[in-house]
Every structure is written in C-alpha cells, then in structure tokens.
C-alpha cells in the first residue's frame, strides 16, 4: 500500500487479556520498528526487524511482549496478560534505508 497500515486503530481490553496488534509496512521496506507512545511521553523503542536478521528485542519491557514478522512483511505485536500500564499508542514504522521512518497512525490501546 501507499503507507504503513495498522489495525485496529483503537482497542479496549480487559486487564489480563491478550491482545494482538497488526502492522502492514510499505511494500519493499526491509526495516520495521515498533514503538510505544504514552501520554505526554516520547516514543519508546520496542523492537526492530531488518530483513532476515534476528530482531533487536532490546526495547521490549517484559516477557509479556513479543512480536513476529512473517515473510518479511506483516508484523504482529502481541501483549499477553495485559496490565493497565500497557495503555498507550503503539506505533509501527517501516524504512527502506533505515534513515527516515514512515509511521502508521498507531493503535490506541486502553486496558480497563
């Protein structure tokens, strides 16, 4: 597609439930990033995929968070046993060169 697509745009879930967030990057972009943006905070790096290399998971805040990227394209971020502090906007970005990212509009996650 023309841009980075994320779904759902909004998600309300009960504490303790698992959620899956999806990202469709720009076709041909080899790099894909997940960030989290909490209210009034900057973007917090979560995970980075580059081609077929092992992902950089150094930003994942706990083992409840995981992500995969299938076929070098679509990525899914999974949060298990959600907690209220997981409420945030989850942003996905893709890049061809690793320099300028193109971001999606994000998934706004609310844990109640």
Partner 1 sequence: QKEVEQDPGPLSVPEGAIVSLNCTYSNSAFQYFMWYRQYSRKGPELLMYTYSSGNKEDGRFTAQVDKSSKYISLFIRDSQPSDSATYLCAMRGEGTGRRALTFGSGTRLQVQP
- Which residue's structure tokens are 């900057």? 42
CB closer to partner 1, 39 vs 112: 39
Q: x-or-dash pattern for partner 1, window 10-39, by CB under 8 A?
A: ---------------------x-x-x----
- Judge whether 62 and 47 are in contact, CB under 8 Å: no
CB atoms within 10 A of CB 77: 23
CB closer to partner 1, 28 vs 40: 40
Which tokens sit at 84? 């209220």
Extract long-range pairs of 56-61: CB within 8 Å, 24+ residues apart: none
Question: With CB under 8 A as the contact rule, which of the stretches 13-21, 50-58, 68-76, 77-85 interacts with partner 1?
Answer: 50-58
CB closer to partner 1, 41 vs 78: 41
CB atoms within 10 A of CB 10: 11
- Judge whether 65 and 44 are in contact, CB under 8 Å: no
* 77 interacts with partner 1 by CB under 8 A: no
Q: Where do contacts with partner 1 occur on this chain (CB under 8 A)?
A: 4, 31, 33, 35, 40-43, 45, 48, 50, 56, 58-59, 91, 93, 98-106, 108
């Amino acid at each position: 597609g023309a841009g980075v697509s994320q779904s759902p745009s909004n998600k309300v879930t009960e504490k303790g439930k698992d959620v899956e967030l999806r990202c469709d990057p720009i076709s041909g972009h080899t790099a894909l990033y997940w960030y989290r943006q909490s209210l009034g905070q900057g973007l917090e790096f979560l995970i980075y995929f580059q081609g077929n290399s092992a992902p950089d998971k150094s930003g994942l805040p706990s083992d409840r968070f995981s992500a995969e990227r299938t076929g070098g394209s679509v990525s899914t971020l999974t949060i298990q046993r959600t907690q209220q502090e997981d409420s945030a906007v989850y942003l996905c970005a893709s890049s061809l060169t690793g320099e300028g990212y193109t971001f999606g509009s994000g998934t706004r996650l609310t844990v109640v």
